[in-house]
Structure 1
Amino acid sequence: MTQLDVVVVGGGAMGSAAAWQLARRGMRVALLEQYEAGHTNGASHGASRIFRLSYPDPVHIGLAREARRLWRELEDVTGARLLTVTGGVDHGDHPFLQDLADGLAAAGVPHSWLTPAEAAERWPGIRFDTRALFHPDSGRLHADHAVAALQDAAAKEGAEVRHSTPVTAIEVLGDDTVLVHTDGGSYRARRVVAAVNAWAAKLVGGLAPLPPLRVTQEQPAHFAARVPEDGWPSFGHRFADPDHFYGGIYGLATPGEGIKVGFHGVGPEVDPDHRDFTPEPAQLAALREYTRRWLPGVDADVFTPISCTYTTTPDSIFVLDRHGPVVVATGFSGHGFKFVPAIGRVLADLALDGTRPDPRFAFNR
């Protein structure tokens, strides 16, 4: 039986970041991932994720600022190019845009309001009928490269990274002892970090007081770009009417693949072990109709559907907490990727000395 300080279960972005942070602190760490490297079964694959500081509260803004610094550090350590600054823009008739602007102003984050004409001149691929909130520090992350870089950095610090190693059970023997069982053997450790997101209820639902988790199969698509991909910002379009285009849209360029456009968190509920990866016809039709009406810079008839999972909490705030020797990361609700390396730091803190982040990330809040 292998003896370690910490076993990290889940080799997606969050678990890989935790393994890097733990290993660089001198811990004996194993990172166990149930699927092969580069798989598409969870929420960490693909070539594009939005990075932004645009949140209405200082906690998320602070975490994003820390993540930005750590993304750049990870790039320096591995030589990978991960974060590309493109600027970002939010528009629409939802009052939440003013909340975003107020939060950015309070935190001293650069931003400005543009008229519809000013926004359309800057980004001709998007149609605007309201003022737009511009935040120049936003951009995109390459998800696949980020996971690979995090695992490479963890391995360089001495972590054992094992793919195709499903964890069959976690057994708590005491406050400082857990057994992590796989078909190929067991690992004994002082702590386990379960960064399994959609599989959290299945794996640790009996070990920690998880909030209700809703797992959905989200269905964005890459649309062919009529405006060059390098001219696109990350963007959000928010409607006050929740029934209008499912309440809102997000999008960004994915170089070489087109413009990624999707609804946020409204896909059908699924079991993560039994997904069909097939777009729901009504939502796909609505997505294409949105692009025809609001994105003159894409071709609504030339597209490639994408499939990923969201694991959403009732308040859409993720869970970063510890119960006994079990640390849990889940419920990222479709907006966690930008924070990945900072969340890795939080998970390492929880595992080593129990230091908890803001109470909003607790099991019970």
Structure 2
Amino acid sequence: MPHAPAGRRSTPSTSQLDHVVIGGGVVGAAAARSLAARGEQVLLVEQHDRGHEHGSSHGATRISRMGYTEPDYVTLTQRAWDAWAALEAASGRTLLDRTGAVDHGRPEVIDAIAHALERAGVPFERLDLDEAAARWPGLAFEGHVLAHGTAGRIRSAETIEALLDLAASDGAALRFGVRVTGLDDHGDTVTVHLDDGIAVTTPSVVAAVGSWAPTLVGEVFAGRGASLPAIRVTQEQPAHFPSHLPDDAWPSFVHYPLDGGDVYGLLTPGEGVKVGFHGIGPVVDPDARDRTPVAAEVERLQAYVARFVPGVDATAPALISCLYDNSPSDDFVMDRRGPLTVATGFSGHGFKFAPVLGEMLADLATGGVPHPRFAL
């Protein structure tokens, strides 16, 4: 962890803490960074190592796009687009490669995306199938096609490091390999028990724990008369496929097949083109998953890629295992009760909003109100 630069305050002691952030994935890192930047005294604790592969944030790339059917999310992507630029400036790192994005498939979905983008003033193009195939020869298209330039590829692993480094430079203490074993709600404060025997009492806990939210904070919220929605934790298995094309041939892409289901993809430089079915994996315990691929799903993914992603070698998948913390509506869950703020339910589409989610959680933890769509 870098040392605080000269002129910045020192790392807070436990007696000085304003907030304990639980979770060192992208959402927790963004919350810690936003709080520390406001002058709050912050401790971040993460049960796994820094940059671990056990949750929903690992891997080198994620999609950034504005192609939503719901105006709330389009507005949030616009805020996020500006926030990514500000994060790049603050960190001195390139975090977003502006490749553009293409959506295709079921006409009713593509038309709804076009309507939402038009309402928000986001420029986009409608293309016919021949135009799309000529522009992106690595993909095969069906249905309607839409492209927009305010989209790209997030350097996700670098983003987490940038957020953690910025949090630390503003005085946040970062602890990894330390598991929270329990929370005691005292009314105005919470005591956080750690597995190294330390107990920290604080007026604010931000539990940015994704798949672990039900077991870690469910009882505390229930004791305050609020129930978390049923978070369904699934093990997803996208894969990287070797590309036949140069890197600049690949946009980020989302396909809504005419026969149902959603598929996403993007290039991960040096690893291949990542393609995955969205939110269809088996339900798992986040502490006890074995990462074993489902053979039938691997075959189904290869068959899809052979048909719709001709620019890669469908016979050579490098399988990936990741977690989704799915809410019943696929909406995020971010709210506060007393001293406890929760963040979960990101449903496989939260990473693109990370800098804004950090600000929203910092607002909640310092007395703000939740976004009505994400409230309990």
Same fold by TM-score greater than 0.5:
yes
- SS of 1:31's partner is strand
Query: What letter is aligned with 2:68?
Result: Y
Q: Which residue of 1 aligns with 2:158?
A: 145
Query: What letter is aligned with 2:138?
Result: G
How far, CA to CA, are the matches of 1:229 and 1:207 in structure 2?
48
Write the mapping of 1:1-365 to structure 2, written as runs, cut at 5 A. Answer: 2-3=14-15, 4-174=17-187, 176-184=188-196, 185-208=198-221, 209-242=227-260, 247-357=261-371, 359-363=372-376
Number of aligned pairs?
357
Identity %: 51
Aligned-residue offset at 1:94: 4.6
- SS of 1:7's partner is strand
How far, CA to CA, are the matches of 1:279 and 1:65 in structure 2?
36
How far, CA to CA, are the matches of 1:311 and 1:105 in structure 2?
30
How far, CA to CA, are the matches of 1:292 and 1:53 in structure 2?
27
- SS of 1:360's partner is coil
RMSD: 1.1
Query: What letter is aligned with 2:194?
Result: T
Query: What letter is aligned with 1:253?
Result: L
Give the conservation status (yes or no) of the 8 Å contact 1:321–1:362: yes
How far, CA to CA, are the matches of 1:341 and 1:348 in structure 2?
11
How far, CA to CA, are the matches of 1:97 and 1:361 in structure 2?
25
Aligned-residue offset at 1:60: 1.2
- SS of 1:63's partner is helix
Aligned-residue offset at 1:227: 1.4
- SS of 2:72's partner is helix
Give the conservation status (yes or no) of the 8 Å contact 1:20–1:151: yes
Aligned-residue offset at 1:43: 0.4
- Moved runs in structure 1, 4+ residues, more than 6 A? none
Query: What letter is aligned with 2:259?
Result: D
How far, CA to CA, are the matches of 2:313 and 2:168 in structure 1?
42
How far, CA to CA, are the matches of 1:71 and 1:52 in structure 2?
12
Aligned-residue offset at 1:240: 4.0
Aligned-residue offset at 1:83: 0.5
- SS of 1:71's partner is helix
How far, CA to CA, are the matches of 2:205 and 2:97 in structure 1?
33
Give structure 1 stretches of 5+ with no counterpart.
none
How far, CA to CA, are the matches of 1:14 and 1:126 in structure 2?
32
Give structure 2 stretches of 5+ with no counterpart.
1-12, 222-226
Give the conservation status (yes or no) of the 8 Å contact 1:230–1:253: no
- SS of 1:132's partner is strand
How far, CA to CA, are the matches of 2:141 and 2:370 in structure 1?
42
Aligned-residue offset at 1:62: 1.9
Per-residue CA deviation, residues 287-320 of structure 1 (Å, 9 max, x unaligned), is 0001111111000112200010001011100101
Per-residue CA deviation, residues 119-149 of structure 1 (Å, 9 max, x unaligned), is 0010000012333111111101011111111
Give the conservation status (yes or no) of the 8 Å contact 2:60–2:156: yes
Higher relative strand content: 1
How far, CA to CA, are the matches of 1:351 and 1:248 in structure 2?
35
Q: Which residue of 1 aligns with 2:9?
A: none
